[in-house]
Amino acid sequence: MSRTAFSWPHLGLIAAGGAVGTALRAGIIALGDPSWAWLSIPLINIVGAFGLGIVTGLAVRMGDVPRSRALRQFFGAGVMGGFTTYSTFAVQSVDAFSLLLALATVVAGTLAAWGGLVLGRRSRS
């Protein structure tokens, strides 16, 4: 994929997508059962990895065209970037149990991203 110069429309797509992703994450956490809060961030990150895999696969399949760039910017960098939250994930990973949960999340996230990438590449655009 080619490198594109900075433009305000690109930044606008990323910012708008980030707002959507952040609001979606906050809504899911707010609606969840507080006794399961420790699991919400890892699950959100795994779902986000899957979503980013799909976006990347679709973009690769479409080629380096303006529509593909807009898809990567809005959904990839924006929505999935705002939806996932690896800073909170890192802070949660400070004790032994959380370290095991972190490892499981990284493995599951990697598998989810791979699955999304395969699915995105195979879908019709």
Determine the Cα angle at 26 with ends 49 and 21, to 5°: 45
**Domain count of the chain?**
1
Instruction: Judge whether 2 lies within some domain.
Output: no
Instruction: Judge whether 3 lies within some domain.
Output: no
Query: What is residue 3's predicted lDDT score, i.e. its pLDDT?
Result: 60
Instruction: Judge whether 102 lies within some domain.
Output: yes
Residue 94 backbone phi and psi in degrees, to 5? -100, -10
Q: Which domain holds residue 105?
A: 8-122
Instruction: Judge whether 14 lies within some domain.
Output: yes
Instruction: Judge whether 108 lies within some domain.
Output: yes
List pLDDT tens digits, range 14-61.
999 999 999 999 999 899 888 887 888 899 999 999 999 999 999 989
Instruction: Judge whether 1 lies within some domain.
Output: no
